[in-house]
Amino acid sequence: MGQLWVSLCPTGSVIAASTRETWQLNPDTGARLNSWPGELWTAQPDAVVLVTERSSSFDALDVFTFQATIVQPAGPRAVTGQLSARPNCGGFDVLGLRWMGETLRLSAHDGCGLWTKTFGGAP
């Protein structure tokens, strides 16, 4: 989105998405243009994915639950989702989240290989 994005965590706190803040900065002056709750997961040319709540781990999971805010020039969107392990594939690792136009794609890896699941966004 043409800016610099930085995710901050309070000193001495437990690292959790709900305690993080993400700043949008002017890359030329360093001035803060905006701030959003949550941790920065993906900065794309047309959208920024911030996770405001999530499961505490990323690996060897049976279930991963999240709440995200998609920041776009047209305004923010909220997306929530839950991913469960596939049958007979063991626990999975979360690899990332990416905004794909109107849906949020979560990528994961388990004993059966790479896979994705998409979640819709509400304006």
Q: Please give the average per-residue pLDDT across 26-52, as a whole number.
A: 92
Where is pLDDT greater, at 60 or 94? 94
Which tokens in the block code for residue 84?
């469960």
Please answer whether residues 48 and 35 qualify as being in contact, where contact means their C-beta atoms are separated by less than 8 angstroms. no
- The residue whose two tokens read 């994961």 is 108
CA dihedral of 93, 95, 97, 98, whole degrees rounded to 10: -150
Please answer whether residues 21 and 32 qualify as being in contact, where contact means their C-beta atoms are separated by less than 8 angstroms. no
Could you tell me where the DSSP H helices lie in the chain?
none
Q: Which run of H or E residues covers position 114?
A: strand 113-120
For residue 7, the model assigns a pLDDT of 85
Q: pTM of the predicted model, to two decimals?
A: 0.84
